[in-house]
Structure 1
């Protein structure tokens, strides 16, 4: 009895899990699938036990990694292609229109893919401002006029499309860029330039510098300095050294009137007449020192008893002394000494008009009028001279004598 139960149990195990059971189950399962495929009737299915049902087909779960790797590969390939296309064909810069300007058509002759090379910065001060190196924004340059003239880069290639173009892709890209430029309503007011790099020169930096420049004195300023030094030397009792300094000042600035006058005076004091006359005649040739040099040289001739020569010199240079009371008065003195009292009266009157408060000219006018036979008018001139200060003692005594 026990043997029989073991046999039955073994048969069940083989039917469910053993090799024979696996074969039997496979056949039954195949049969049921065939019946489902043929859509068998209930009568055909009734031959099988009611507990027998077809097993579901095995489904193998596919791994998701192959799909993910394929998608990742496609994305990487697309990114590489997009980057390569971007580097090969950078976007064409679009010129922004300026507001409130009339539309001006701009002829397009060539479109380039590169900006022109920046010019090296110049030294100004500017004030002129050079950008520094590294990470500096671009400089906005305002053009002088509102019109945009087409520029032509010598290194640029023409992108005008034609049937015989060797590169149709570039021609196709240039056409939209040209249309964008033509679509602008007004010319551009500025161009955006790339930043200029510093070359390492501290003077080319963007920060303006104020450099102190040493002031170089002019020849006239240097002559004035030497003249002041000569005055100190002269006051110190060294006339020869002072003469050398005055001569040096005139060598720098011949029109320095003070140096010429003092030098001539020193030469006259030391009785170097010829040297003094040379210095003064050189001064007469210069407009800036003509008047003073003429008066000094005329007085030098008078001291040397050359009155006629002095009078001739004064009359030759009369145009330079028309507005000088000193010149008119001294010329009147020379004319009166020469016996030309009527002419002397005219010159004295000119001197009194230019310097009405100068007593010397009124006294001289009285002397010239009396010599010309106008005693009554001479008396009035003497009265005017006595009423003014500054009359020299000798002239004052002469006036008092005439008024008695």
Structure 2
């Protein structure tokens, strides 16, 4: 528009030789002549305006050069002119064949590219953000876990693991109420490991509940033959043996074999004393009752047993003391309390004669 204004000023200045308009020299111009001069002026102005707009449009619509900008920001681009701000080395991408840039794109890159320090910081932030993406870590972890699981599944199961797996299977079947299946699984466990006491005791209990005492006794005998250091199983087997006719000798043999491993077990000594008393070995019975009472001096039933053994072994005075102690504890059942009182009457009468 400045060109149009200058043109109008030039046209206005042509009216006088010194460039100033003279109002006295102004004369009327015919209507036709005045109209032709205005048309020429405005036509020329419109042409110049169109030319300026066309030049501006061409300038603004020039094709952009993003490849050159990206290449400058990401890859080294050697240029003929000394422009160190344009050449930036990127550490991450692979090297790209260098292409000589034309002067105009290089000039635009110099205007659009930031300073080397800022560009380096931006690249560092971009690389850091890409390396810290959280999506990659779970994928790697999941793959590692899958490989680890496959390795574990591919391992050969050890004999001990087979035993434990079979025992757990038996317990699960027992919990589900499948007793027969559980007993078979327990037997399988014992075939793999005859010393598995958990499986042995569970199987014995199930056999007793199923009214199969002979099989239970056989299982206990197998267990004690492998390891006699099991007083509880010895007492259980002795009880099963006592239920049979003339089973006292077998029960006594069972208890005597495990006795060295029950030195501090009062229950074991008292049970052995009762079996000895049943076999009419009263002196030994009295000794084991006394050992049992050392562990539980307030057990009135054991005091009563000691009194019976002492009376049968012809020690009436000591037997009377044992019965009196059993009566004084006041923990016997009414039947046993009456039994002890009758014994005291007999011993008192025998001592009075």
TM-score band, normalised by shorter chain: 0.3 to 0.5
Q: Which has the higher helix share?
A: 2
TM-score (norm 2): 0.46
> Larger relative CO (CA 8 A, sep 6+): 1 or 2?
1
TM-score (norm 1): 0.41
